[in-house]
Amino acid sequence: MDGFVTFSETTDAMNDLKVEVFDRELVWGLYRWSTAWRITWTGPQGTATLNLKQVTRSSIWNLAIGGFSMAVVQGELSLAGKQQEVYGLVELIR
């Protein structure tokens, strides 16, 4: 999986993108929502790691076999020997 990321108005390619789920939350239905992730990739500045944890989640659409939610997340980005706190939104589709 590949993608792109923008820092300080500079866009870089994200190669070897990997998403790992570390925690899940039970909800109504036959599935669980992911609540914690580690995302790693390689780019022009080297290997990057983004650790995220859900702060709050709002269910938009939910059926027994899947759904759609939006979550507020916070975490830390490690890139080029620097760490930066991050805060944002995650779209969850199951």
Q: What does the block give as tokens for 93?
A: 């589709």
Q: Could you tell me how many residues make up the chain?
A: 94
Distance CA 31, CA 7 (A): 34
Q: Is the pTM of this model over 0.75?
A: yes
pLDDT at 54: 92
pLDDT at 64: 67
Confidence of residue 92 (pLDDT cuts 50, 70, 90): confident
Mean pLDDT for 8-29 is 80
Q: Is the pLDDT of residue 1 over 60?
A: no
Distance CA 41, CA 77 (A): 11
Q: Which of 35, 37, 32, 33 shows the shortest CA–CA distance to 21?
A: 37
**CB–CB of 32/22 below 8 Å?**
no
The label of the residue with tokens 């080297």 reads: 46
Question: Side by side, which strands form the sheet with 3-7?
Answer: 3-7, 10-26, 32-43, 46-63, 66-79, 82-93
Mean pLDDT for 31-54 is 89
